[in-house]
Structure 1
């Protein structure tokens, strides 16, 4: 998508000047095939930051209220962002996400469902586990370590693909899969959250 590429280029310049992101583990992202990236969520800048961190185009889920905003809603739709109704099992969003994965796309989720106001990792919602179990996608845990302060470096870490094959074979629940994903995200936070360099 041309609009996606334009936005990615502009955000790449913005981030490189203002936040100087350090990206770790980029090679853990498969170059092809379906991928589900699951990350913590600390800022509205998280989606474009992840989007500029890897070469492949990403589809994001966003709260449905954003699509009611003039100009923003149509723009989000054109760059591959799709709405999800928070606080309810949005079957349409789930079906669309699975469709994208069957098309070998990359889907990025923020399992907490909302930004963390404290920076601490919250409880993950079952949607992340649903996509992980209902597809053959590689599940990539990721963390963003801030804070987002001008001219302070932010860090993006992509972990190795998470092994959930036992849950797929034994018909584990979406909640179980999400718990495993969140545990790995937390371990990445603990491992890399020693502070960002100035």
Structure 2
């Protein structure tokens, strides 16, 4: 058993009863091939919640500062995370993300880049669109619908992969691609809240 599998098992056993996690649409998740998994960001617990509910291991970008904290850095790295320098274009992180998708793995992103203070869906950053257009990965929208309150239901909704064929053919911008992803996340939130 890998460290990731062990951690997923333990964290699932802890968080599922506390937040009464309901997973919807898991049948939409591709069984193989690269997947760009894009979710809204409402709480610090979003990465572990997505990690324990997704049917395949997820690789997340995490802020670079976490990797320099002695014990935490090693744990985060063993959970398939890789560093990104926030507030600038981090070419190394972009290359690493594309490499994960090309290897047929799952790259998890929160397109808003930071947690929503209000719980409302914010504007997505161009990074999600960049990965969507530069890879042949499936683009899977995900909605986390709170609140994060003990013993209240928390929903994690996986949508059908978004068809990016036309956007790729028409050489859409990263911003246009991100807007489409955010619109699909918004639809999931409105449909399931």
TM bracket (short chain)? over 0.9
Structural mapping, 1:117-196, within 5 Å: 117-193=117-193
Q: 183-192 or 133-142, which moves further after superposition?
A: 183-192
Mapped to 2, the partners of 1:94 and 1:45 lie a distance apart of 24
Find the aligned partners of 2:117 and 2:6 in 1 and give their Cα distance. 30
- Specify every segment of 5 or more residues in structure 2 that has no aligned partner in the other structure, as ranges: none
Could you tell me which residue of structure 2 aligns to residue 96 of structure 1? 96
Aligned residue runs from structure 1 range 78-97, under 5 A: 78-97=78-97
| Structure 1 runs not aligned, ≥5 long | 194-198
Deviates more, 1:99-108 or 1:63-72: 63-72
Over aligned residue pairs, what C-alpha RMSD do you find? Answer: 1.0
CA distance in 2, matches of 1:172, 1:89: 20
Counterpart residue number, 1:5: 5
Cα distance in 1, alignment partners of residues 171 and 158 from structure 2: 27
What is the alpha-carbon distance in structure 1 between the residues aligned to residue 170 and residue 180 of structure 2?
15
- Structure 1 stretches (4+) deviating beyond 6 angstroms? none
Question: By how many angstroms is 1:37 displaced?
Answer: 0.6
Give the C-alpha shift of residue 54 in structure 1.
2.4
Task: Summarize deviations over 1:123-156 as a string: whole Å, max 9, x none.
Answer: 1011000110000000001100111111111000
Alpha-carbon shift at residue 77 of structure 1 (Å): 1.1
Q: How many residues align?
A: 193
Q: What is the DSSP-based 3-state SS (H/G/I as helix, E as strand, rest coil) of the residue aligned with 2:70?
A: coil
Residue in 2 that maps onto 1:109: 109
Report the Cα offset of residue 15 of structure 1: 1.6
For residues 22-61 of structure 1, the aligned pairs below 5 Å read: 22-61=22-61
Q: Secondary structure at the match of 1:116?
A: coil
SS of residue paired to 1:157: strand
Structure 2: how far apart are the matches of 1:37 and 1:52?
13
CA contact (8 A) 2:121 2:186 kept: yes
Contact conserved, 2:29 with 2:55, CA < 8 A, in 1? Answer: no
Task: Give distance in 2, aligned partners of 1:79 and 1:45.
Answer: 14
